[in-house]
Structure 1
Amino acid sequence: MRVSGRADAGAPVVLVHGIGMSHRYFRRLAAALRRRRTVIVVDLPGHGASPKPGRDVDVGEMARALAVVLAETGAGGCVLVGHSMGAQWVVETALQAEELVSRVVVIGPVVDDAHRTVFAQMRALAVDCLREPPRVNVVVFTDYLRCGVRWYLTQLRHMMTYPTEDRVARLRQPLLVLRGERDPIADVRWGRALAARTADGRFAQVGGAAHVAQSTAPLAVAARILTFAPSPDRAVS
């Protein structure tokens, strides 16, 4: 876990990676956000620097682990941001620990209704690799190697079966759905549909970006997050 930024600048922003990944592909977004907010970046169990559990951990249990981290760091009322499968983990955390989460942001959320087989996911990931710059692909694939095939496949099974659209419909917090306009993994129809499922949902696209928009367009993503969840002295109606 890494904490940085301004401690007096409104609700902290917590960044949660996707399947197989770590905090590393949030570095540019964290740098953009920390000018205005406290930023907390985590490596969930089995990812990045965090050790692998000796047993299976499903979405619900991963969310409980994240809630414990939020409580221990005093990050109550945080803006919880999840990318890809991280969208599932943050949605579930927001449902389980409502008192700790004020707003939810999902970037490139999975699994959309066009990619509900492992083959469809792998094909979309291959297309995305062609749309990302080499520096992003280096981070992605080195993190995948560090995660390992066994843990990746364990989490993939949970990712494919988690009912994202049903769970977001239960959210009490405002939800922002973000996607890169060239994202082949989370399509535009899916993003709009997720936002429409909530009582207070919004949808936005990041021009020119593919799936890893937070790394390729960090300033644009940061601006969207800060507009959605302004600090008290900058609150807008």
Structure 2
Amino acid sequence: MTPEHDARAAEDATPYRFTHAGATVVVEETGSGDRTFVLVHGIGMGRRVFGDLTDVLRPHGRVIAIDQPGYGAAPEPVRTLTMERSADLLAAFLRYRRPPGIVLVGHSMGTQVVTEIAARHPDVAAGIVLVAPTVDIEARSAARQLGRLARDLAVESPVVLVKGAQESLHAGPNLRRKMHAMLAHRPEDAYGRIDVPALVLRGENDYVSPRGWCETVVALLRNGRLAEVAGHGHETMIRDPRPAAEHILEFSDGL
């Protein structure tokens, strides 16, 4: 697909592909304006879980939702990407696309990718939002992460369960390798290198991203603050995205 074709596809909201260094993302754009919200999903998910959030954010700017390599409609890469390589890929896409006023919004594992973009490519974004950040230093194992997620999902709405199950099917046979890449990453080593403003956002009842860990993330960031969504868990942007969107919009208005 040529760059010209990519641009035309973006204008009519048709999903399109961007390939860099042997890995491919699928991109869907909607809305317009001088602010751009780039939505980066977590492990086992894809851009479609952000459909309701996109509807809330679209009146306030452009929204770009991404399928990372091996998720959603994006093809499986030859080798599972590290968080750093995922960040380099998305940074290359954003430099190519050059949308205005970028606010990176990562959910769960997506916060690790967003963190590395901000640390490694400080010119890309005006601000970042880390929703339900992983991986808590005290739970850096697959067993503990899955145990916490199971507790969270046990009280989640059927909408979250259905969307999560659908997207997990698209994550392919290499989910174990992707989990290893997520757990091997140490986001705490990158937080202190981020200069742009950062909002750390968690659901009040989030077992995967407990408040103590989120407070640690804020303390490590140079310019971070914490907000909570009452009555929500780890999937706060999926279950009912409006409260999270209000925090995201308030944060972006201050950039």
Task: Answer whether TM exceeds 0.5 for this pair.
Answer: yes
Q: Alpha-carbon deviations, 1:175-218, whole Å to 9, x = none? A: 11000011110000111110111121100110111101001231
CA RMSD of aligned residues (A): 1.3
Say which of 182, 189, 192 aligns to 1:169: 192
Is contact 1:20-1:147 (8 Å) kept? Answer: yes
Instruction: Give me the whole-angstrom Cα distance separating, in 1, the residues matched to 2:142 and 2:80.
Output: 19
Read off the aligned partner of 1:3 and give its amino acid letter. E
Which of the numbers 157, 161, 164 marks the counterpart of 1:140? Answer: 164
Give runs of aligned pairs for residues 194-209 of structure 1, distance below 5 A.
Answer: 194-209=217-232
Q: Is the 8 A contact 2:71 2:172 kept in 1?
A: no
In structure 2, C-alpha distance between the alignment counterparts of 1:77 and 1:91, rounded to whole Å? 17
Higher RCO (Cα < 8 Å, 6 or more apart): 1
Q: 1:180 aligns with which of 193, 196, 203?
A: 203
**8 Å Cα contact 2:159/2:239 also seen in 1:** no
Kindly indicate whether residue 144 of structure 2 is the aligned counterpart of residue 103 of structure 1: no
Instruction: Give runs of ≥4 in structure 1 deviating > 4 Å.
Output: none
Matched, 1:68 2:84: no
Q: Does 1:120 align with 2:144?
A: yes
Q: What is the TM-score when the length of structure 1 is the normalising length?
A: 0.93
C-alpha contact 1:77 1:100 (8 A) present in aligned 2:
no
Check whether the contact 1:76–1:101 (CA below 8 A) recurs between aligned residues: no
Counterpart CA distance in 1 for 2:134 and 2:236 is: 14
Compute the displacement of 1:101 (Å).
0.8
1:2 is matched with which residue? 28
| Cα distance between partner residues in 2 of 1:216 and 1:139 | 10
Deviation at 1:154, TM superposition (A): 1.2
Q: Which runs of 5+ in 1 are unaligned?
A: none
Deviation of the 1:51 alpha carbon: 0.3
Query: Which residue among 178, 197, 212 is the counterpart of 2:235?
Result: 212
- Give the fraction of aligned pairs with identical amino acids, expressed as a percent: 35
SS of the residue corresponding to residue 34 of structure 1 reads helix
Q: How far apart are residue 25 of structure 1 and its match?
A: 1.2
Structure-2 separation of matches of 1:48 and 1:201? 31
Matched, 1:42 2:69: no
Any residues of structure 2 matched to 1:7-86 within 5 Å, and which?
Answer: 7-8=32-33, 10-75=34-99, 77-86=101-110
SS at match of 1:55: coil
Structure 2 CA distance, aligned partners of 1:170 and 1:99?
13
Q: How many residues align?
A: 229
CA distance in 1 between partners of 2:177 and 2:100 (Å): 30
Q: What does the per-residue CA deviation read over 1:152-184, in whole Å, with 9 as the maximum and x for residues that have no partner? A: 111111111211122111101111100001111
Distance (whole Å) between structure 2 residues aligned to residue 159 and residue 75 of structure 1:
28
2:114 paired residue number: 90
Q: Extract unaligned runs of 5+ from structure 2.
A: 1-26
